[in-house]
Chains A and B, each alone.
Chain A
Amino acid sequence: MKKNVLNVALAAVIVLTTVAFTANSVEIKEIDVKNSEVNWRGEKVTGFHTGTVELEEGHFIVEDGELKGGEFTMDMKSINVTDLEGENKGKLEGHLKSDDFFGVETYSTAKLVITSAAKKNDGTYGVVADLTIKEDTHPVTFDLEWNENSASTELSIDRSKFNVRYGSGSFFDDLGDKTIYDNFDLMVNLKF
């Protein structure tokens, strides 16, 4: 009985020490959204388009110097097209914001929550996250380059999983060369 009490006391000390140690070593790295950059590229059979979208807010969670988590919110109303000008630019931006694509009036933000991260041998992090676009949530995975004051990644997203249907061969037959690829790429540069 005495031994049990001692064990419980010892366990309590260990738990408290661990909690205290962990609490001390957790760091929230807020993203400097003004100086961070998210570029997108979408391909279709007969060409492609490029542009940007703005980060609303974001942070990484770092424990004992290791990346453990993070949360990022994109402002979907900020979708911008950079490879067109004038009327064509305005038209494509309007189309991307419409319900054919991202329906930004209804779904004004998209969100990424890191659920798992681990360092590979080459120093990059393998990351698993839940991505929510148009209220559909699916896991995504990507490799993240991690530096002192910045982090960068390239991420391929399958829009067909998030109900972004326009010109997608996963929803419509016989699109032929009107097909727009399901995968679009994000080139992300984050500054802390």
Chain B
Amino acid sequence: MEKQINAQASNVAWKGKKVLGSHEGTIDLKDGKFHIENDQIVGGEFVMDMTSITVTDLKGEDKAGLEGHLNSDDFFGVANYPASKLVITSVAKKDDGTYGVVGDLTIKDQTHPVTFDLDWNDNTATTKLTIDRSKYNVRYNSGSFFSGLGDQTIYDNFDLNIELKFK
């Protein structure tokens, strides 16, 4: 059985930190589904619309400036890589009822395994996911690629807060 995600009603919020501060925003899910067998998750596939990156902690020119920068090749190069993808490869239920999940995450055509715990409810699933952008060639002001950045460093890890609603 497939459980389709209601992309419109679902929410993906991101938070990125730098030495001197942080920024946050949202990104839209294009489509997604979980595979269910015998009432257990066994898989799933999710596609993010990378052209939808929005900044929510700034306004006006600053907001547009950062959105433009995030869309550029310094970060996610969305003209060349308009979608990113997560494919669940393994799932198991933990004692506390959450699911431990292993997935293949593809950003900028780079695929790496990611792992996260998923809270599973009747009509929703939620998770917090930390992603290391240095693995996906998202290089701008990353200490993994450039030396001597000092307090201009932007952290490699960014966080996603995900709330999925089912159709």
Contact = CB atoms under 8 A, between A and B. Distances in A.
Given A126-B18, A128-B143, A182-B115, A116 B100 contact: no
A143 interface: yes
B151 interface: yes
Given A45-B115, A181-B115, A127 B19 contact: yes
B76 to A, nearest CB: 19
Interface stretch (B1-9, B30-38, B119-127, B153-161): B153-161
Nearest to A157: B157
A128 B17 contact: no
A43 B130 contact: no
B130 A141 contact: no
Interface string B122-151: 000000001010000000000110000111
Contact of A141 (B21, B150, B156): B156
Contacts of B61: none
Size range of the interface on B? Answer: 20 to 34
Interface string A37-55: 0000001111110000000
**Chain B interface helix/strand/loop/mixed:** strand
Contacts of B22: 120
A192 to B, nearest CB: 22
A121 interface: yes
Contacts of B149: 116, 128
Contact of B90 (A116, A127, A138, A175): A175
B50 interface: no
Interface string A156-191: 101000000000011000011101011100000000
B95 interface: yes
Contacts of A44: 100
A143 B15 CA distance: 13
A141 B20 contact: no
Given A44-B100, A179-B102, A117 B92 contact: no
B94 interface: yes
B123 to A, nearest CB: 24
Contacts of B113: 169-170, 179, 182
A118 interface: yes
A175 B113 CA distance: 11
A156 B112 contact: no
Interface string A112-138: 000111101100001110000000001
Contacts of B116: 181
Q: Which 10 A-B pairs have the closest CB atoms?
A: A126-B19, A45-B100, A169-B113, A139-B143, A177-B92, A118-B151, A181-B115, A141-B155, A176-B90, A116-B150
